[in-house]
A = this chain, B = another copy of it.
Amino acid sequence: MPLDALFDQRSIAIIGASPKPGFPSRVPQFLLKFGYPGKVYPINPKYQELFGLKAYPNLAAVPDEVDLALIIVGAKHVMPLLEECAEKGVKTAVVFSSGFSETGEEGKALQEEMRRLCERTGLRVLGPNCLGYVDVSHKLVVTSASLMERLRDLDEVKDSSIAFITQSGALGSMTYGEAYRQGAGFRYFVSTGNEVDIEVSEVASYVIEDPAVNVVGLYLESVKNPEHLRVLAEKSARLDKPVAALKVGRSSVGKRAAASHTGSIAGSDQVYDAFFRQHGILRAKDMQELVDFLMLASCGRMVKGDRLGVITLSGGAGIMISDQCEDLGIQVPELSAADQDRIRPFIPPFGSAANPVDITAEVLGKPEILKPSLEALTKAENIDAVLVFFGLVDHMALRLIDDIHEVYRQTDKPIVVTWYAGSDEVMKKLSDYRIPAYRDPSRAVGAIRLLMEYQKRRQIQKQAGQAHAVAAGEPAGAGPAEAIREQLRQQIAAGKTHLNEYEAKQLFAAYGIPVGRSRLATSADEAVKAAEDIGYPVVMKVASADILHKTDAGGVMLNIRTPEEVRQAYERIVANARQYAPGARIDGVLVEEMLEADREVILGVIQDATFGPTLMFGLGGVFVEVLKDVSFRVCPLSPADAREMIREIKGIQILEGARGKKPADVDQLADILVRISRMATDLSDFVEEMEINPLLISADGQRLVAADGLIKLHAKK
């Protein structure tokens, strides 16, 4: 495996080790202090001995193979040393040094040089400008991060099943510090810095295979290669270990200008969101939620559904927690009569056995009522996880926690404890028992929400997997790809920038997307013939790749009912178009069937800078233009993705049949989304943007037709 040398190696050279304060001394000191079991070779020509070890003047002088090199020298010295590493056969180097792409043009050039060296020699590099990493399994503390001063030894975190991989060293190490402060700590912590070579998701894909890892957290500012993220997502699904990310940088600055709606509406953050959803990667809203979730998931317990049991000693707390659950889509269902009967004997008559279960403050006088009621709630048939709410009561907290722990041991459902205003002693005892615990209930509810979201994602993915398996047996929509690609190649070579509506619809039709009956006429006579073949009434539109806004050009006429009207319309459309755009090439006039539709949707494809072809879906009119009520998915889509992206829009009731309308055929719509997404993937080398606007839906909801289409080609190179 390409990252083996990072986590599993026999020897490390520390190039630039020295007794000076900062990185040069802290990196070797931490490595030795935390008991690295392999060989360590300090490299520094100025010293014979360093940190009690023989020092070497350079890498070549080391009389042994070196698997891993740590580079802690000024930026300008790094490149020659990496060359030496490559010569010596070092597999991986960690470059702590800063002064690369984060500092300006010169640094960028230096980093580009480093990238080429990696490519040329096969040397893998973590960094530059990184804070190194910690791997508790292999007793590897390869970092200068000051958080390691807080740890006495690695045994303190040896039970952690959390891996945390971060693009920000500072924020990442603080996050480790915060998790450690809360009694957790991370089994793996890796800072990837500027990512000249090794990326966050590549590291995550490696460590997620460690059987001791239950959950992976990511801090991301940007993703260079989404393929690594796809691989990570696949492993997450295969191993059934959740991956949760905090992706920052939502306030997108450089929004690209684009001709279509889709281009102007898509913000790259929404595309990240879509990609995460499609691939079952969880997204935390902030660092606190991420850490809270990692701590919950590290207990290794999963839920089967989204139904939470809540048990409190305060009616008010029960109401407050129910509110928070409702806001986040977590159910707090009433327990069955039988389950309530099991709880009722233990609690006072003014308590509640319904859920939230209120055992009342009477528990403070009779602590013995907690255990049997918690036990019954945990076993209740319609409960997937349990939240226990207590607070203060220092004098009897430890006794109550013992009881909670006994119930916790006997179940495999997650139990989360909220101990509001809990003392440090209380929180430590809960942590020692490895029971996920928070002081504030909103944090517990936020973490539970992500666990339930994970379960939901996994289910959708499984369905998608099955649907893919079925689809594989069908004749693929990808059949026409090669011929079409060749045709587009030629058109781009000829300088064409857009396909006209007629051409675009032909491509859509080739991918099995329904388009209305339509003919291109180049004379009034041809138009009459076309109208008679299609059947009245018809619509007529100017066909010109140079006129994008046909209505503005007076180039669209509706509801044409006689041959005479067809002739008049033909002449008028051509005349209007000539006047509107004198230089435009007019290919003729499209004659189309007039569709009786009562709803419309928009489908658009853009090229996202990170993820490539990306599909947008929305309802027509105010829904897109005013409300920005749209959803995104990265192409290609599974049928499950398509159904989900349809359901995601706020105006979904319009399709489901609000306001007296008939439900639209959502399966057919999903199929069209899948087809355009395949088309976008097949043709991504040639197509810059695509849009079907509108896709009309007939009043009975059963006929869906692309009524207008736009395809923008990549510029000729």
Interface residues of chain A, those whose CB is within 8 Å of chain B, are 22, 98, 102-104, 107, 145-147, 149-150, 167-168, 170-171, 173-178, 180-181, 219, 221, 246, 248-251, 285-288, 313-317, 319-320, 322-324, 326-327, 349-350, 361, 364-365, 391-395, 420-421, 423, 439-443, 621-623, 625-627, 650-651, 653-654, 658-659
Contacts and interface: CB of A to CB of B under 8 A. Distances in A.
Nearest to A22: B365
A625 B171 CA distance: 45
Contacts of A393: 146
Nearest to A420: B174
B350 A103 contact: yes
30 contacts: A98-B350, A103-B349, A104-B349, A107-B350, A146-B394, A147-B392, A149-B394, A167-B316, A170-B313, A170-B317, A170-B361, A171-B316, A171-B420, A174-B392, A175-B421, A176-B421, A177-B421, A178-B439, A181-B421, A249-B323, A250-B326, A250-B327, A251-B323, A286-B324, A286-B441, A287-B320, A287-B440, A287-B441, A288-B443, A621-B659
Nearest to A326: B251
Given A147-B421, A391-B170, A421-B178, A627 B627 contact: yes
B622 A288 contact: no
B658 A250 contact: no
Nearest to A653: B626
Contacts of A219: 316
Contacts of A392: 145-147, 173-174, 177
A107 B180 CA distance: 49
Contacts of A149: 394-395
A285 B441 CA distance: 12
A248 B323 contact: yes
Contacts of A654: 622, 626
Nearest to A361: B170
A659 B420 contact: no
A288 B440 contact: yes
Given A249-B323, A250-B326, A286-B442, 6 more contacts: A107-B350, A170-B316, A175-B421, A221-B319, A250-B323, A287-B442
Contacts of A361: 170
Nearest to A421: B177
A167, A288, A621, A651: which has the most chain B beta carbons within 10 Å? A288
A319 B659 contact: no
Nearest to A177: B421
A520 to B, nearest CB: 30
Contacts of A423: 181
Contacts of A22: 365
Contacts of A246: 320
Given A104-B349, A626-B659, A659-B622, A286 B170 contact: no
A411 to B, nearest CB: 26
Which 6 A-B residue pairings sit nearest by Cβ, starting from the closest?
A: A168-B316, A177-B421, A174-B391, A170-B314, A178-B421, A286-B442
A288 B441 CA distance: 9
A600 to B, nearest CB: 13
Contacts of A174: 391-392, 420-421
Nearest to A180: B421
Nearest to A327: B250
Contacts of A251: 322-323, 326
Contacts of A327: 250
A87 to B, nearest CB: 31
Nearest to A285: B442
Contacts of A621: 659
Contacts of A441: 286-287
Contact of A651 (B181, B365, B626): B626
A188 to B, nearest CB: 18
A364 B251 CA distance: 29
A98 B364 CA distance: 15
A364 B658 CA distance: 61
A248 B173 CA distance: 37
Nearest to A321: B248
